[in-house]
C-alpha cells in the first residue's frame, strides 16, 4: 500500500496568528530557547491568545535537546496541568515540545495528549508537520529519533517574520537542511507521486531563494518562500523517509555537535555520488526540473551534484568534513561506532542504495 498522511492545519500569510485565539484549551505551556525568549516572539504569540488563557513558559531548550532537559520540562508541564503546548523556535524547540507531549502521555496514559501548536523560527527542519522528534542522549553521544503519529503537530503557523532575525550562517545551514530533506525524499525507496510533488517544489524554491535570503536577511519574499519550502519538504519526508545523508548527520551531530543543517550540506554531494546510478533516474528528473542539462542519467546526476556544490560554495559551507571543527584522530577512533550507528539509523532504511559496512567506511573517508 502507498499512503500519504498530512494531519497538521498549516496556516500562512496575513492573519495566520489569529488561529491562536481559538485554541482548544485554557492553559498554554510555551516551549522555546533562551535566545528566542529575548526576541519578543513569545510576547507576540501571547498577545494573540484569547483573554483568560493561562501561560507557563519553559525557555531552556538547548540546540539538539537533551533527554535531561526534556525530562525536567516534562515534569514542569505535567505539574502545570496545561492542555496546550506551543513551540516557538527552530527544530530543537519544536522537537523538545513534541517529546514533552510524548513522554507526558506515556507517563500518564489517562491524560489526554496536549494540543500541539508550532511557530517555527527557522526554515528548517519541517518538524512542524512531521511525526519525528530528535532527542539527544548526551551520555552516549547519540541522537535518537522518536517516531509516533501522536507527535505530528495539530497546528503550524508559518509566519516568515519570525525567521527574519536568523543570521546568515543559520539561514544557510537550515536552508540546506530543507534541500536535503527534499532531495532525500525525492529519491527514497518510499517516494510516491504526492511526496515528489512537495519535494520538487521545495527543491526549486531553495535553489532560487536561499542565496537571496543568505545575501539579505530582510528579503521577505525569499523568507516567505523558504518557510513554505521547509514545510513542504517536511510533508514529503514525513511520508517517504530520508536517506544516509541524514544518518551520517545524526552521527556527526551526536558525537561532534556539528549543526544538523551544516552536516547535511557537507555530506549531500558525497551521498549523491554514492547513490549514483541507483537513483540516477530521479536525480536526472531533479536536474531537469532545475533547468540543468540532463539528457542522460549520468549527465543529470553530475549536473545536480555540481549545482549542489555551487550552492554550498555560495553559502560559504565547507567542502568536506575535515573543514569542520572535528579532530582527525577522534574521527578515526569513532569510525567503527559511527558506521554501526549509520547502518542502524532509521533513515538508512529508505536510502535508494543499501550501503554495506565497507561502503559507509569509504563514504566517511571520502567525505573527510
Ligand atoms: N523533527 C524533525 O522532523 C527534524 C527534522 C530535521 C532536524 N531535526 C532536528 O532539529 C534540530 C535542528 O533544528 P534547527 O536547524 O531549526 O536549529 P535549532 O532549533 O537547533 O536552532 C539553532 C540556533 O538558531 C537559533 N535560532 C532559531 N531561530 C532563530 C531566529 N529566528 N533568529 C535567530 N536565531 C534563531 C537558535 O536559538 C539556536 O541557537 C536538530 O536537533 C535536528 O536533529 C528534526
Ligand atoms: Zn534534517
The pLDDT assigned to 109 comes to 78
The pLDDT assigned to 278 comes to 67
Sign of the Cα torsion 255, 261, 264, 265 reads negative
Q: What is the mean pLDDT of the chain?
A: 96
Pick the CATH number of 168-367 from 3.60.15.10, 3.40.50.970, 1.20.1090.10, 2.40.160.40: 1.20.1090.10
pTM of the predicted model as reported, rounded to 2 decimal places:
0.96
Looking at residue 155, the DSSP 8-state letter turns out to be E
Give the ranges where the chain is alpha helix by DSSP (H). Answer: 34-37, 41-47, 67-80, 91-107, 168-187, 193-215, 220-240, 244-256, 260-275, 280-289, 297-314, 328-344, 357-367
Which tens digits make up the pLDDT trace of 338-367? 999 999 999 999 999 999 999 999 999 999
Q: Residue 279 pLDDT > 80, yes or no? A: no
Which tens digits make up the pLDDT trace of 83-94? 999 999 999 999
Which tens digits make up the pLDDT trace of 188-243? 999 999 999 999 999 999 999 999 999 999 999 999 999 999 999 999 999 999 99
Looking from the CA of residue 163, the nearest atom of ligand 1 is: 31
Q: Is 35 in the pocket of ligand 1 (CB under 6 A)?
A: yes
Pocket residue to mutate for ligand 1, from 91, 182, 254, 264, most atoms within 8 A of Cβ: 91
Which tens digits make up the pLDDT trace of 164-184? 999 999 999 999 999 999 999
Cα(196)–Cα(286) distance, integer angstroms? 10
Q: How far is CA 172 from CA 6, 202, 263, 265, 268, in A?
A: 27, 15, 12, 9, 14
Q: Residue 50 pLDDT > 80, yes or no? A: yes
Q: Are strands 132-137 and 142-147 parallel, antiparallel or unpaired?
A: antiparallel
The pLDDT assigned to 58 comes to 98
The pLDDT assigned to 55 comes to 97
Residue located nearest, by CA, to atom 19 of ligand 1: 90
Among the bound ligands, the one closest to the CA of 125: 1
Cα(219)–Cα(239) distance, integer angstroms? 31
The pLDDT assigned to 276 comes to 86
Pocket residue to mutate for ligand 1, from 95, 126, 130, 148, most atoms within 8 A of Cβ: 95
Which tens digits make up the pLDDT trace of 280-327? 689 999 999 999 999 999 999 999 999 999 999 999 999 999 999 899
The pLDDT assigned to 119 comes to 98
What are the strands of the beta sheet with 9-12, ordered from one edge? 9-12, 155-158, 115-120, 84-89, 27-33, 54-61
Among the bound ligands, the one closest to the CA of 133: 1
Q: Could you tell me which residue, 97 or 14, shows the higher pLDDT? A: 97
Pick the CATH number of 9-163 from 3.40.50.1970, 2.160.10.10, 3.40.50.2300, 3.40.50.970: 3.40.50.1970
CB distance 302 to 272 below 8 Å: no
Q: Is 230 in the pocket of ligand 1 (CB under 6 A)?
A: no
Mean pLDDT throughout 150-159? 97
Residue located nearest, by CA, to atom 37 of ligand 1: 35
Which tens digits make up the pLDDT trace of 230-249? 999 999 999 999 999 999 99
Domain definitions of the chain by residue range: 9-163, 168-367
Residue located nearest, by CA, to atom 21 of ligand 1: 90
Mean pLDDT throughout 153-165? 97
Q: By C-alpha distance, which of 164, 204, 230 is closest to 287?
A: 204
Cα(134)–Cα(67) distance, integer angstroms? 10
Q: Which residues is 204 bridged to in the sheet?
A: none
Residue located nearest, by CA, to atom 42 of ligand 1: 260
CA of 64 to the centre of ligand 1 (A): 8
Among the bound ligands, the one closest to the CA of 129: 1
Please state, for a pLDDT cut of 90, what percent of the chain lies above it.
Answer: 92
DSSP structure string for 65-109: -BHHHHHHHHHHHHHHT-SEEEEEESHHHHHHHHHHHHHHHHH-T
CA of 177 to the centre of ligand 2 (A): 5
Q: Residue 5 pLDDT > 70, yes or no? A: yes
CA of 226 to the centre of ligand 2 (A): 15
Question: What's the half-sphere exposure (Cβ side, CA atoms, 13 Å) at 339?
Answer: 15
Which band of pLDDT confidence, cut at 50, 70 and 90, is reported for residue 143?
Answer: confident
Pocket residue to mutate for ligand 1, from 31, 122, 242, most atoms within 8 A of Cβ: 122
CB distance 282 to 296 below 8 Å: no
Amino acid at each position: 500500500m502507498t499512503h500519504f498522511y498530512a494531519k497538521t492545519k498549516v496556516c500562512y500569510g496575513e492573519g495566520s496568528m489569529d488561529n491562536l485565539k481559538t485554541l482548544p484549551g485554557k492553559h498554554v505551556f510555551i516551549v522555546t530557547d533562551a535566545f528566542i525568549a529575548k526576541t519578543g516572539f513569545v510576547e507576540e504569540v501571547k498577545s494573540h491568545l484569547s483573554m483568560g488563557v493561562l501561560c507557563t513558559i519553559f525557555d531552556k531548550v538547548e540546540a539538539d535537546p537533551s533527554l535531561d532537559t526534556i525530562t525536567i520540562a516534562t515534569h514542569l508541564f505535567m505539574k502545570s496541568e496545561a492542555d496546550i503546548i506551543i513551540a516557538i523556535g527552530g527544530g530543537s524547540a519544536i522537537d523538545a515540545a513534541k517529546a514533552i507531549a510524548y513522554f507526558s502521555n506515556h507517563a500518564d496514559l489517562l491524560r489526554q495528549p496536549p494540543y500541539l501548536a508550532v511557530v517555527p523560527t527557522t526554515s528548517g527542519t519541517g518538524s512542524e508537520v512531521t511525526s519525528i522528534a530528535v532527542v539527544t542522549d548526551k551520555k552516549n553521544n547519540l541522537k535518537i529519533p522518536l517516531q509516533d503519529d501522536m507527535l505530528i503537530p495539530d497546528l503550524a503557523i508559518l509566519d516568515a517574520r519570525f525567521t527574519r532575525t536568523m543570521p546568515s550562517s543559520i539561514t544557510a545551514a537550515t536552508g540546506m537542511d530543507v534541500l536535503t530533506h527534499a532531495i532525500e525524499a525525492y529519491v527514497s525507496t518510499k517516494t510516491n507521486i504526492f511526496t515528489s510533488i512537495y519535494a520538487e517544489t521545495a527543491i526549486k524554491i531553495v535553489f532560487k531563494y536561499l542565496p537571496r535570503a543568505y545575501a539579505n536577511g530582510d528579503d521577505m519574499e525569499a523568507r516567505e518562500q523558504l518557510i513554505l519550502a521547509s514545510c513542504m519538504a517536511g510533508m514529503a519526508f514525513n511520508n517517504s523517509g530520508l536517506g544516509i545523508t541524514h544518518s551520517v548527520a545524526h552521527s556527526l551531530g551526536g558525537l561532534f555537535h556539528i549543526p544538523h543543517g551544516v552536516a547535511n550540506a557537507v555530506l549531500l554531494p558525497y551521498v549523491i555520488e554514492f547513490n549514483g546510478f541507483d537513483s540516477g533516474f530521479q536525480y536526472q528528473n531533479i536536474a531537469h526540473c532545475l533547468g540543468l542539462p540532463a539528457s542522460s542519467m549520468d549527465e543529470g546526476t553530475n549536473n545536480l551534484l555540481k549545482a549542489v556544490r555551487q550552492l554550498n560554495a555560495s553559502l560559504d559551507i565547507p567542502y568536506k568534513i575535515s573543514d569542520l571543527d572535528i579532530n582527525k584522530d577522534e574521527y578515526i577512533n569513532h569510525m567503527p561506532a559511527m558506521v554501526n550507528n549509520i547502518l542502524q539509523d532509521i533513515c538508512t532504511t529508505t536510502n535508494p542504495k543499501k550501503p554495506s559496512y565497507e561502503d559507509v567506511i569509504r563514504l566517511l573517508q571520502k567525505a573527510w
